[in-house]
Amino acid sequence: MSNTHDVFSKHKENKMHWEQGTVYDVAWSSDGNLLTASGAKGPVRSWRLGRGGHKEGDEHKGLTSDIERLAWCPPTHDGNLLAAASYEKHVYLWDQRSGSVQQTLTTNKANSELQWMQSGKYLLVASRDEGIDVFDVANTQQPVVSATADGSLNAARWSIDGRLLFLATHAGNVEVYSWPAMEHVTVVPAHAASCNCLGVDPRGLVLATGSADATMELWNMEDFSLMRTLPEFESPLMFTEFSMDGRYIASASDDLEIKIHETEGALVHKLKLSLLTTALAWHPRNLAFAYGSTAPSKSGAKPAVTIFL
């Protein structure tokens, strides 16, 4: 562990009221006032933070137990809009102002990933085995782009400026495409085993990759050269997420830990867990994050939505 001052040493774990079973995803609203989660049993739930009684939360009408992925729209477009992807080939655009689903997008794919462009103009929906669809939210009748990946697709991210798309594949590579031309730019040969997850530095400087080979790698976004490898894991990585200022990366694997590294590579904090992490998201304005979990079989523990703050 680094000798660097641990800014997370006084953080506490705060569990929300949760009865929906295994947590599928967690997402923060763009202003950080709402934390939203989806699970295996029951509708999507949000908690409004900063007032008494927030741990109970509110259910979202029209968003039921089949929601796999969640993403709040950036404030540059419409921060009141929540995208919710079901595994059954639909994406719902839920409006906080009306408290209801405003539009339904049809993908004809088993949705496994959901990402807004930073401008909020485009929404990317990915399928593990069937590639990506990109929708223009001004006209959602059909995707403006549909494309397949080279092999099974594990994760997808936009660059901060919206000019590039990164697709992480089962082959261990990151395929890089230009936007909106969708021309193939390069292949980042990130890992020998499956590349399971991606993280994009909000400063636009670093791309993080996490793999089934139990390593995290940090890549220079200018030329996609390898900056450093972080080998401090014992099982496949499932999440690599940057803090809002780009200084820290939180990662989760099956080690029953969430590790926090500085972008320079130093390990600054370990959060010991009793449950497997199934979702992870940094707060958009503070050095805090939320994570969801599932309980190992026969453990007797209950899945949870937790804020580390």
Residue 276's beta-bridge partner residues?
Answer: 294
Measured between alpha carbons, how far is residue 169 from residues 34, 174, 180, 209, 258 in Å? 32, 6, 21, 11, 23
Token readout for 267 is 């390990």
Question: What are 136's two structure tokens?
Answer: 């223009």
pLDDT tens figures, 277-288: 999 999 999 999
pLDDT for res 51:
56
Q: How do beta strands 122-127 and 195-200 pair?
A: unpaired
- Taking only the tens place, the pLDDT of each residue in 158-189 is 999 999 999 999 999 999 999 999 999 999 99
pLDDT value of position 53: 45
How far is Cα 211 from Cα 220, in angstroms, rounded to an integer? Answer: 18
284: nearest Cα among 116, 154, 165: 116
pLDDT at 39: 94
Residues 211-264: pLDDT tens digits? 999 999 999 999 999 999 998 899 999 999 999 999 999 999 988 999 999 999
What pLDDT is recorded for position 54?
A: 56
Q: Which residues contact 10 (CB under 8 A, 6 or more apart)?
A: none
For range 66-77, the mean pLDDT: 92
CA angle 290, 23, 257 (to 5 degrees): 55
pTM over 0.75: yes
* pLDDT (tens digit per residue) in 27-36: 999 999 999 9
Query: What mean pLDDT comes out for the span 80-91?
Result: 92
pLDDT at 4: 58
Confidence band, pLDDT 50/70/90 cuts, at residue 1:
low
Tokens of 125: 């929906």
pLDDT for 55 equals 65
How many CB atoms neighbour CB 175 within 10 A? 22
Query: Are 104 and 61 spatial neighbours (Cβ–Cβ below 8 Å)?
Result: no
* CA atoms of 157 and 132, how far apart (whole Å): 11
For 277, counting Cβ atoms within 10 Å of its Cβ (0-12 exposed, 13-18 middle, 19+ buried), the class is: buried
Nearest to 23 by CA among 297, 306, 292: 292
CB atoms within 10 A of CB 94: 25
